[in-house]
Amino acid sequence: MLQQYDFQEPHLVAIDNVVFGYEQGQLKLLLFQRTIEPSKGDWSLVGGWVNPDESVEDAAYRVLTSLTGLSDLFMEQVEVFSKPDRDPGGRVISVVFYALINIQEHNHQLVDHYGAKWWPVNDLPPLIFDHGKMAEVALEKLRMKASRDLVGRDLLPAEFTLTQLRNLYNCIFMKEFDPGNFRKKILSLNALRRLDKKDTSESKKGAYYYTFKNIETDQFTERIINF
Amino acid sequence: MLQQYDFQEPHLVAIDNVVFGYEQGQLKLLLFQRTIEPSKGDWSLVGGWVNPDESVEDAAYRVLTSLTGLSDLFMEQVEVFSKPDRDPGGRVISVVFYALINIQEHNHQLVDHYGAKWWPVNDLPPLIFDHGKMAEVALEKLRMKASRDLVGRDLLPAEFTLTQLRNLYNCIFMKEFDPGNFRKKILSLNALRRLDKKDTSESKKGAYYYTFKNIETDQFTERIINF
DNA sequence: TTTAACAAAAGTATTAATTACTTTTAATAT
DNA sequence: ATATTAAAAGTAATTAATACTTTTGTTAAA
């Protein structure tokens, strides 16, 4: 049972965002480079402190919107990292979130100004503290999400081909999905609308563009990917 | 980016455990009754403060082992609850865990002494603050766990029948599984060992007792239940 | 103007898993 | 003996997943 609040030791609480984006056929992570010791030159996730008057969700959202200029971000709690010695600078409890953002649409100047950079998930630089583990767990969580719901709305451009969507899933699960079976499965969900436009950059025949139906079709709890 | 640590406002951080047990064919939750206002008479989860030198996992484990007298508890992080006004007594960030414990084996005297009581999950009393929501999310998390791994090792007695195990799953998912299909599926996992003893209390023919194989057979990431 | 090339899109055949049932079994109680 | 009970085993139909092959529409080269 909780005893009197006054005699309890308070803790510093931070959030760290694992920010996923998709660009040039690659799943990427938004990272900052440390300019001071310790771990100078190493990279870190997009973190910040939690203010007294906000929830950890508010904090994570505030940090990310002010960095990217985007609103309406998809974010989800991942896990709390709280080993007493996880941060050499002092005892900090960190709540990790992951976010999905559209690299095309975010404010590049703002991100550049803060010195942030996009890194391919399968070719990350050394990360500080336990941030490597955080990214790992976040990717696992994203896989869970992508196996239940169709992700892509937040990562792909508004109009995309099934090949692009499949490649995104290839990146997330780090495996090659069979083109025929993937399209059959995805279309059976009835969540996409085919446009009368084609992308002819990848093939002579051309691949139809699709959009997500604007209704909340994401709401299927059915399983998409078995993993 | 994290600025200097010294000027940051610290937070009170607590843990709350959603403690699941299984008894008399029912899934139950261990709860405390509040003896003081506000919300006097209402019930709460098994909570406690996080000490400066321990992780939130350590704190959750410490609180639960000291209450139940059990060690080697299965626990898993659920989610952080951190709305600024969630606790009328002050700003407290709470990390929720769920735990699976064997009601038979825990220290009843200790639990009685603290005034805790087991409640059936589908007939809970009013819970304080956001504890109702916590229990709800924890149950959802338990369902995720039970759909991937065979739960029961921590909830059932060492020797149990497939009917008991099925009933546990019925409780967790709040639906009736087909007896034949359930046994076929479970036995195909090859995680149980059949004993040469039968339980004849439920039928004339009698149902074989089973135990979990002591090897780490829980490790299948394959799917057990589709939900 | 044909033909080769390309990936999209559609189709197929096989296997595996799920689901809804029915039948048999072993013991007890009438 | 016979009816009863739930366990345990079995079956048949359906659905889903997988590994392929074929067709299509367009472009670029012969």
Percent of residues in chain B assigned helix, strand, coil, to nearest 5: 30, 30, 40
Backbone torsion region of residue B56, taken as left when φ is above 0, otherwise alpha when ψ lies between -120 and 50, otherwise beta: alpha
Backbone angles phi, psi at A81, to 5 degrees: -110, 125
Which nucleotides of chain D are near protein (any atom < 7 Å from a CB)?
4-11, 17-21, 24-27
Q: Please report, rounded to a whole number, the percentage of residues in chain B having pLDDT higher than 70.
A: 93
Closest CA to A78 of A144, A28, A154, A127: A144
Helix B162-173, helix B131-148: angle, nearest 10: 130
- Our measurement of CA B198 to C1' D4, in angstroms, reads 19
Tokens encoding A118: 């996009």
CB contact under 8 A, A8 and B3: no
Using CA coordinates, name the residue in chain A closest to B32: A1
- Tokens 């350590």 identify what position? B58
Q: How far is CA A169 from CA A144, A149, A179, A183, in A?
A: 12, 12, 11, 12
The candidate with the shortest Cα–Cα distance to A95, out of A143, A45, A140, A145, is A45
Bigger pLDDT: A40 vs B95: B95
Structure confidence at residue A110 (pLDDT): 81
Check CB contact under 8 Å for B8 and A49: yes
Q: How far apart are the first and last CA of chain A?
A: 40
Whether the predicted model's global pTM rises above the 0.85 cut: yes
Q: Can you give the distance from the CA of residue A176 to the C1' of nucleotide C15 in angstroms?
A: 21
* CATH architecture of structural domain A152-219: Orthogonal Bundle (1.10)
Mean pLDDT, rounded, for B182-194: 94
- Residue B217 is predicted with a pLDDT of 47
B186 CA vs D20 C1’ separation (Å): 32
- Say if residue B85's pLDDT is above 80: yes
The chain B residue lying nearest A34, using CA atoms, is B1
- CATH 3.90.79.10 range(s) for chain B read 12-148
Helix axes A162-173, A131-148, angle to 10 degrees: 130
Closest CA to A26 of A189, A155, A213: A155
Residues 173-202 on chain B lying near strand C, CB distance under 7 A: 178, 180-181, 184-185, 200
Percent of chain B scored above 90 by pLDDT?
A: 73
Q: Specify the domain boundaries for CATH 1.10.10.10 within chain A.
A: 152-219
Residue A169's pLDDT is 96
More confident of the two residues A81 and B202: A81
Band (pLDDT 50/70/90 cuts) for residue B227 is: low
Among residues A75, A88, A84, which one has the least CA distance to residue A18? Answer: A75
A223 touches strand C (CB under 7 A): no
Q: Which chain A residues are Cβ-neighbours of B90 within 8 angstroms?
A: 5
What is the full per-residue pLDDT of chain A (227 aa) written as tens digits? Answer: 455 687 889 999 999 999 999 999 999 999 999 877 778 889 999 999 999 999 999 999 999 999 999 888 999 999 999 999 999 989 999 999 999 999 988 888 888 888 899 999 999 999 999 999 999 999 999 999 999 999 999 999 999 999 999 999 999 999 999 999 999 999 999 999 999 999 998 888 889 999 998 765 455 555 766 65
Of A84, A89, A227, the CB nearest to B53: A84
DSSP string, B22-48: EETTEEEEEEEE--SSSSTT-EE-EEE
- In this structure, are residues A73 and A65 in contact, taking their beta carbons and an 8 Å threshold? yes
pLDDT at residue number A217 = 46
Backbone angles phi, psi at B76, to 5 degrees: -145, 140
List the single best residue of B5, B7, B85, B225 to mutate versus A (max A Cβ within 10 A).
B5
**Chain B: residue whose CA lies nearest to A83:** B55
A12-148: CATH, from 3.90.79.10, 3.30.499.10, 3.30.465.10, 3.20.80.10: 3.90.79.10
Residues in chain A: 227
Taking all atoms of strand D, which protein residues have CB closer than 7 Å? A 178-181, 184-185, 200, 203-206, 223, 226; B 161-163, 179-181, 183-184, 198, 202-208
A96: nearest Cα among A161, A155, A151, A44: A44
> How do residues B2-21 score in pLDDT, each as one tens digit?
556 878 899 999 999 999 99
Is A77's CB within 8 Å of B77's CB? no
Q: In this structure, how many other beta carbons lie within 10 angstroms of the beta carbon of residue A115? A: 12
Q: B110-130: per-residue pLDDT in tens?
A: 888 888 999 999 999 999 999
Q: What pLDDT is recorded for position A72?
A: 87
CA A64/CA A75 separation, integer angstroms: 10
> How high is the pLDDT of residue A95?
98
Nucleotides of C under 7 A from a protein CB: 5-12, 18-22, 25-28
If one compares A10 and B219, the residue with the highest pLDDT of the two is A10
